[in-house]
Structure 1
Amino acid sequence: MNINFNRRKIESICILLSFTLVIIITILGILATADEIFNWDLLPPNIENVMVLLLTSIAMVIGASFIISLMINFSIISISLEKFADKFEKFVEKDDR
């Protein structure tokens, strides 16, 4: 099976997306924790529920981006190992003659 797409570009996009979302979720998480500890009531209860949904959604996207990046790296590793094995096989055949 031969799938042609730029694995490095997709990996870079996933890493950039994950990095950006981790920064956003960290800031929102710190604000949410401070809001609970100090009873600031920064947002109305309905908006807080939306923020919880947003934080959960961002965490899920981060997880999906990580898994995609991991799968792409496994694909790159397997392709590299296949090329290495082919070169090694040719070297062994040449050496046997």
Structure 2
Amino acid sequence: MHVGHGSSALVGSDRSTEDNTVDELHEIVTSLIEKTLGMGVGELDPDTELNAAGLTSLRMVELMTELEERLSIEFPDEMIEPGTFRSARSLTGAVRRLVP
């Protein structure tokens, strides 16, 4: 699985399993959430409610833009809703469906 330019964390089609890519996607999503919320690396649990952790609507847009640019994806309108951005786990699942 290859992710478009701008993604240095995903190396490309030389990955041996899709599981590695999923893990890498989770790491990218989690690190961008932590950056957006001003958290330390490794501080965010995958199931932490992001709104309780400080994800405001403005920060959600910032996070979404970062993900779109980093992974060369675009969130369709129907995915821009609270359930998508509930936790790192839910957001990773959404991003996984968008990555080419």
Same fold, TM-score > 0.5, yes or no: no
Q: Which has the higher contact order (CA 8 A, sep 6+)?
A: 1
The structure with the greater share of residues assigned to helix is 1
TM-score between the two structures when normalised by the length of structure 2: 0.30
TM-score between the two structures when normalised by the length of structure 1: 0.31
